[in-house]
Amino acid sequence: MARTASLSGFPEWLPQERLVELHVLDTLRKTFELHGFSSIETRAVETVGQLLRKGEIDKEVYGLSRLQDDEAPDASTLDKHDPHALALHFDLTVPFARYVVENAGYLAFPFRRYQIQKVWRGERPQEGRAREFTQADIDVVGDGELPFRYDVEIALVIAEALSALPIPDFRLRINNRKLAEGFYRGIGLTDTAGVLRSIDKLEKIGAAKVAELLKSELGASDEQAALALQLASIRTEDTSFVAQVRALGVSDDLLEEGLSELEQVIEAAVHRAPGKVIADLSIARGLDYYTGTVVETVLVGHEQLGSICSGGRYDALASKGNRTFPGVGLSIGVTRLVSRILSQELATASRSVPTAVLVALNDDQSWSAAQDVAAQLRGRGIATEVAAKAEKFGKQIKFADRRGIPFVWFTDDDGKHQVKDIRSGEQVDADPASWAPSAEDLHVRVTTT
């Protein structure tokens, strides 16, 4: 991780680091599939109009065009505001919404999907923020309606998935937009979206500056700003937040609906994922399409990294005629997680290559026989390479050691086989039809350090 990248914001891993990333991806995939989520992949490119339908992040979107376009040879004449222009997707939620609309006739609802893909975002590169990165999303989408119980389930699935990764302890910080918007409405602040955007800046600029924003940009009184900040200060590991909110003396039907929904999520988490979820009423999520549950996740002791998993409920992101497709989903920042795992040496791969065995050559004529041995081992799931040159055995062993291969296979002129563990020096008789390494050596293992 100490090397210098030739192009910042586009991380590339060394082979041993990539094995750690693959372990993270495989773990997430297995967990998602255990809960019945189907894998999809959407195209990397969307139209600008599609990408910018919700939210205001156009400055982060990478446009896409040919270097030489017959219709527009002068790149400076390209219209950046053309809704039909092409751009790389900046998240997986917006492309997924389009996918649902276009394939609604072929999907069984509620549709449970997971998606692990690259995304691109024109941000200033720093630790935890890259311009090209991998996300892992899960969503449940309904046709016309989606029971709230899926909000609870999504949070529990993510808690299980993150618990299986080689990462520090984490907390899912959960709020509800209905709760927040109902509260703001109840104290007389009608621009609830504006209040949410201001509250979303709380951790970056502090309470005093947020109060000034509320007063200068949204016309809040001192009392209204104070109440909004009091709400945002509430954090509990159980359902006691309900009483704390009611103690603020604000009444609103939407507020009550949000309180009830958040209470259900936290109550289930206390039972099924104890210590992993907290009610945090400062969580706002800046994007406009969230309508209910909202989530951000931090690593304990690594809070400065930012959220490593976020998302929530959206009731109107996707629609087709008079049909709407409400959904709830969460997105894990895989690259952000892997970057922290590697930079802090939180986990390491047991070796740098998948190969468990190198078949050595006695002479150049033995290469074909060595391939036969390798084929037998591979046929039983043992990753095997064959030496390329019949060098002295000491050099072939050093080659295996340099590659990180733990075993070297020898066959003498009489056809007798032996395998050497080059870590311990132990060498034993072996049969390519039956020998196998220990379970620990069969595959690369990723362990916490």
191 is in an annotated binding site: no
Q: How far apart are CA 339 and CA 345, in angstroms?
A: 10
To the question of whether residue 79 is assigned a binding role by annotation, the answer is: no
Ligand-binding annotation for 272, yes or no, is no
What is the C-alpha separation between 328 and 157, in angstroms, rounded?
A: 12
427 labelled binding-site residue: no
Whether 330 has a binding-site annotation, put simply, is no
Amino acid identity for residue 13 in this structure: W
Annotated binding-site residue? 91: yes
Establish whether 131 is an annotated binding residue. no
Q: Is 139 annotated as a binding residue?
A: yes
412 is in an annotated binding site: no
Non-local (6+) Cβ contacts of 90 within 8 A are 51, 57, 60, 61, 62, 119, 120, 121
Residues in the annotated binding site for L-histidine: 91-93, 121, 135, 139, 285, 289-290
Residues in the annotated binding site: 91-93, 121, 135, 139, 285, 289-290
